[in-house]
Chain A
Amino acid sequence: MASPGGQGAGALSTRGGSAARRMKWALELSLGNTRSRSERQGGQGDVIYPIGYSEKPVPDTSIQETDKNLVEKRCWDVALGPLKQIPMNLFIMYMSGNTISIFPIMMVCMMAWRPIQALMSMSATFKLLESSSQQWLQGLVYLIGNLLGSALAIYKCQSMGLLPTHSSDWLAFIEPPQRMEIMGGGMVL
């Protein structure tokens, strides 16, 4: 769904790749970390300017060392995201307790679902990290973080008794044994 504000810039090519995930569209001329929303507003307000004109001075487009650092930093943020959530999860786990009721179940589901979802979209995250030099390390950290998250969820399930790990959980599937002898009789009539 194209937003009405974006129609004017519809002709402009959008940046592909990782940027597309966070910004619906962006002017090619306004590079850098500015938020698309502010640009959109700017674009709407300044229709009188010719295409390609910017009020701000055009920044130096040559890649600088600081930008690279920023990218690295951003990529580490992404990679460390799941790990940072673990203390929070631990806290929620502690608070929700081991009773089986709707809220703890919902919490556990959320806790289990988020890492799984993240692991499913690993390839997308890798693309995000493409620009980083420590791409593999960050990917590994991200993976470990998510695995830890799901392990935590499983642990929670275990402590809530939701995992079929006991023999009693399989009791219903035991068939009654077949009897080998036929026996009958009774008191002498």
Chain B
Amino acid sequence: KLALIINDLIARTFPCRSNRRQQYVGKVRFSHFDTHLQSSKKVLLATEKNVFAALNTRTGELFWRHVDRTGPEGNIDALLLHGQDAVLVIGNGRLLRSWEINVGGLNWEIVLDSGSFQSACLVGYQGTVKHVAVLKKASISLHYLSNGHQKWVENLPESETVDYQAVYSGGNGDVYALGVVPHSHITVVSYNVEDGEINKQVILIFHLIAKEMLACVDSSTASLYMLDLHVQSQMTQIPLQSLGLEVDPGFQPALVSTQPNPARPPLSEFFLQLGPEQHLLLQLNNGQIVVLRDFKPAILVSFATTGEKTVVAVMSPKNKTACSVNLFSAESGRRLLDTTLIFNMDPNGGKPEKLYVQTFLKKDDSVGYRVMVQTEDQTLTLIQQPGRVMWTREEALSDVVTMEMVDLPLTGTQAELEGEFGKKADGLMSMVLKRLSSQLILLQAWISHLWKLFYDARKPRSLVKNDVTIENLSRDEFNLQKMMIMVTASGKLFGIDSKTGSILWKHYLDNIPSNAAFKLMVQRTTAHFPHPPQCTLLIKDKDTGLATLHVFNPIFGKKSHITPPTLPQPILQSLILPLMDQDYAKVLLLIDDQYKVSAFPSTKNVLQQLQEMASSIFFYLVDSSQGRLCGYRLRTDLSTELIWEVIIPTEVQRIVSVKGKRPNEHVHSQGRVMGDRSVLYKYLNPNLLAVVTESTDLHQERSFIGILLIDGVTGRIFHEAVQRKARGPVHVVHSENWVVYEYWSTKSRRNEFSVIELYEGMELYNSSVFSSLDRPHAPQVLQQSYIFPSSISTMEATLTEKGITSRHLLIGLPSGGILSLPKMFLDPRRPEIVSEQSREENLIPYSPELLIRTEWFINYNQTVSRVRGIYTAPSGLESTCLVVAYGLDIYQTRVYPSKQFDVLKDDYDYMLISSVLFALFFATMISKRLAEVKLLNRAWR
């Protein structure tokens, strides 16, 4: 029994293979609930990430997802849903696609004529919808919904002067194209569905539809204009004042209408938005506008139709943390009973931005509904009455900009106590007491942890709960579980548990400019117990250059009580020093555009340390717009002096990227053992930078890429290589004594890898200290290139605790695979002719092709779409490296570049080994006793 428990305990401590993928879609642009079946559980989303997906409305999981090309080529311009078919216009009117929404299969795809896309709509005729009309800049075309074939295409009259904006069909056999000539008139062209002949052409005024009438609102005259498309009479102008309405100053009024069935005319009710929080439900009744209801305050409104009933959902703010949603009848504007739904806003989230309503008929013929709310922080929430959140999707995670991994605190209790001990204590006695008490708490927590472990071990494994919350967060034995801090482009920060992938905290930063640059730094880790860990996020607005600091606790996501300094000057770069203040926070230096340096934290102690260290603090700045690389030295008064400068003329080439070494990288072996057992010492310059340039001339005969190895302290250039007839994008990894980069060779039309390794030679110049200022000998440079069969999206090297484990390159492929390529294959010492010595060294003979072996894919069949970055972090086990790949999806796994040499195998037979050990032990005891007896007997004989 005891042995079993011990075995179980041991088995528990060994890491099981864990990899997790989370799939995202991005910020929603168009969304439709699938309504062709009452019981349907689908919601279709077309997003700004060029993703078209169907979600399960019950769970929020993906049914299917189609990822199109990035950039404007795959941009989804329109989503039209009819029955089981979803029609998409893609790439500014380049493609028209129809998807079958049940399984997500492609029905058809056709290439449209060139021309920039304006609008699309479904065209119904005689009660059925058979066509889709696409309006472009200069033409209008009608396509069959069943196969996409073009029925007719017509050029729009006067398309040079008229800006055609909308296309509309009322179900009566006509398709209307509406064009505007600014400050002049409106053109309405009506086409016959059957042959595309122009029925009528009306030249009048502006945009939106309500029952065969064109209605538009003009802010300059504060009037509503109406036009009957059939009668073509003069525009009727209805001043808003006549309805007793007032437009908010500076607000552009807008109209929202609905057409529940494309084969039938739209409803006569429509919304008029007069201010950010004011919506009006208007009805057009025999050419007269009637105000049905004034919703004030109302943030969001939406129409929804089920069966024959059309309702409007109105979201109005209730208090600071909640909003309420109510249903109103569209015909009468009356409120429907028992339809209130409370939406609780996350205090760390954003405001609601879009409202999508799914309605259904209940058994008693009343209308039930669910709402999907999209907030500013790109969170999608589906809520059911009376406010139960069915699921939440954090779509901000589809755009992770930067991330870090932080060790978890030893125990949850310890983390909780941090706040209490965070305050500074003075005096020796109190310090001792503080230390003692904290140690005592640690001990207690450790014992309780052990006890829990022991207790859990006796239970069957399935019963042990594995849900992670902030309270029970604690580091595991091998530090395999860490906190991933992810910064997304929308300005939302996430704390994600790396083991389960669950989001433990999130924090939305308001007022993040859309083109902000982020830099995340860990100032204090969890190792300094009473002090809470501390991360600092530098957010820089690229337009103004001004930056702000957000200081937070990476474990809980709470904003720190430390007030970051206000930065009046534009910030160029930041630099985290290994120096610590008395609270063990690493010092962050910020360099402003006057090349002055400010420190954070900037206590007296820190400033004093900085003054002492100033002469050995250097930093470099790379300005790619001017092609300048500069090195600066810190002066004691925190100003800087320029010590070197390299100009790369921007007319010829531009600097694409600069890669230094990772500060937490350890190199265990200082050299390589040759075949004759001598040592070739590595050139391990921590200040080395790899600068990659691309030529501005992109002609395939003249384009080139350059790589420059430069010392960041002295500005000394060690190596310069130019790859002619090559083109970017260049992906670089710089680690230890090697640089690996990948480029496209325009001459041979293939992707190539190149590796540069630096060696000091057979003798070390100075083995105890490394100073860039005192290294007279230039390193030996070796280089080799290889052909790689695929293009790549991103590249990173594995990282382990002590650097003993061999290195692998993790390569994100556009196909969604993540390849773990042993660095051994990228070794410039690979010989062309095999000799005894090279065999002794285990060098693989040179072959120009690098093969992709399928067993090197670390994500198996779990495709990671659009990998943009790979983050690696060491774990407590030397053999294990934690890997996070992020892009549209997030994927977390562990890799073992040299296999799990420090872990017993999963199938290790503890039972057998321990029983053999025990058996041998007892056998020894018994035989010893027997031998004694025998000897005694013999002595008596």
Contact = CB atoms under 8 A, between A and B. Distances in A.
Contact of B766 (A161, A177, A189): A177
A99 to B, nearest CB: 13
Interface in A145-189: 161, 166-169, 171-172, 174-189
B771 interface: yes
B519 A180 contact: no
Nearest to A184: B575
Which 10 pairs from chain A and chain B are nearest by CB? Answer: A184-B575, A180-B771, A185-B619, A166-B677, A168-B673, A177-B770, A185-B620, A189-B517, A174-B670, A183-B618
A182 B678 CA distance: 32
Nearest to B573: A185
15 contacts: A167-B679, A171-B671, A171-B673, A178-B768, A179-B771, A180-B616, A180-B773, A183-B617, A185-B619, A185-B621, A185-B622, A185-B712, A187-B623, A187-B655, A189-B574
B573 A166 contact: no
Given A172-B669, A177-B766, A181-B713, A186 B658 contact: yes
Interface in B755-813: 764, 766-773
Given A177-B768, A177-B769, A189-B538, A171 B679 contact: yes
A82 to B, nearest CB: 32
Contacts of B540: 189
B601 interface: no
A183 B620 contact: yes
A166 B686 CA distance: 27
A166 B540 CA distance: 54
B657 to A, nearest CB: 8
B571 interface: yes
A178 to B, nearest CB: 5
A182 B667 CA distance: 18
A188 B713 contact: no
Given A182-B618, A183-B619, A189-B538, A176 B684 contact: yes
B674 A168 contact: yes
A177 B616 contact: no
B613 interface: yes
A167 B673 CA distance: 9
A184 B622 contact: no
Contacts of A166: 677-679
Nearest to A165: B677
Contacts of A172: 668-669
A187 B622 CA distance: 4
B674 A183 contact: no
Contacts of A176: 666-667, 670, 684
A177 B684 contact: yes
Contacts of A182: 577-578, 613, 616-618
Contacts of B173: none
A187 B658 contact: yes
Interface size class on chain A is 20 to 34
B678 A181 contact: no
A34 to B, nearest CB: 30
Given A168-B679, A189-B538, A189-B573, A181 B670 contact: no
Given A168-B677, A177-B684, A189-B572, A184 B770 contact: no
A180 B770 contact: yes
A171 to B, nearest CB: 5
B278 interface: no
B677 A189 contact: no
B575 A185 contact: yes
Contact of A161 (B574, B617, B677, B712): B677
Interface core residue of A176, A185, A186 (most chain B CB under 10 Å): A185
Contacts of A186: 573, 620-622, 658, 660
Interface string A74-91: 000000000000000000
B214 interface: no
A89 B519 CA distance: 69
B687 interface: yes
A177 to B, nearest CB: 4
Given A181-B616, A185-B573, 20 more contacts: A167-B678, A167-B679, A171-B670, A175-B767, A176-B684, A177-B767, A177-B768, A177-B769, A180-B769, A180-B771, A183-B617, A183-B772, A184-B620, A186-B620, A187-B655, A187-B658, A188-B573, A188-B621, A189-B538, A189-B547
A148 B660 CA distance: 57
A164 to B, nearest CB: 10
Contacts of B863: none
Interface residues of B, number: 55
B326 interface: no
Interface string B634-678: 000000000000000000000101101000001111110110011
A187 B627 CA distance: 11
B622 A171 contact: no
Contact of B686 (A161, A174, A179): A179
A85 B517 CA distance: 79
Contacts of B624: 187-188
Contacts of A189: 517, 519, 538, 540, 542, 547, 571-574
Contacts of A175: 767-768
Contacts of A167: 677-679
Contacts of A188: 572-573, 621-624
B576 interface: yes
B659 to A, nearest CB: 9
A105 to B, nearest CB: 19
A183 to B, nearest CB: 5
Contacts of B670: 171, 174, 176
Nearest to B663: A184
A161 B676 CA distance: 11
Contacts of B658: 186-187
Interface in B479-500: none
Contacts of B771: 179-181
Interface in B184-218: none
Interface in B588-637: 589, 591, 613, 616-624
Contacts of A168: 671, 673-674, 677-679
A105 B433 CA distance: 59
A21 B574 CA distance: 83
Contacts of A179: 686-687, 769-771
Contacts of A184: 575-577, 589, 619-620, 660
B154 to A, nearest CB: 52
A185 B622 CA distance: 8
B613 A183 contact: no
A116 B660 CA distance: 56
Interface in B158-182: none
Contacts of B591: 185
A181 B617 CA distance: 6
Contacts of B616: 180-182
Nearest to B763: A167
A21 to B, nearest CB: 25
Interface in B679-733: 679, 684, 686-687, 712-713
Given A167-B679, A168-B678, A171-B671, A181 B768 contact: no
Contacts of B538: 189
A171 B621 contact: no
A168 B837 CA distance: 14
Nearest to B616: A181
Contacts of B767: 174-175, 177
A183 B617 CA distance: 6
B709 to A, nearest CB: 15
Nearest to B623: A188
A169 B577 CA distance: 36
A167 B538 CA distance: 47
B686 A183 contact: yes
Contacts of B669: 171-172
B537 to A, nearest CB: 12
A183 B673 contact: no
Interface string B507-542: 000000000010100000000000000000010101
Contacts of A183: 617-620, 660, 686-687, 712-713, 772
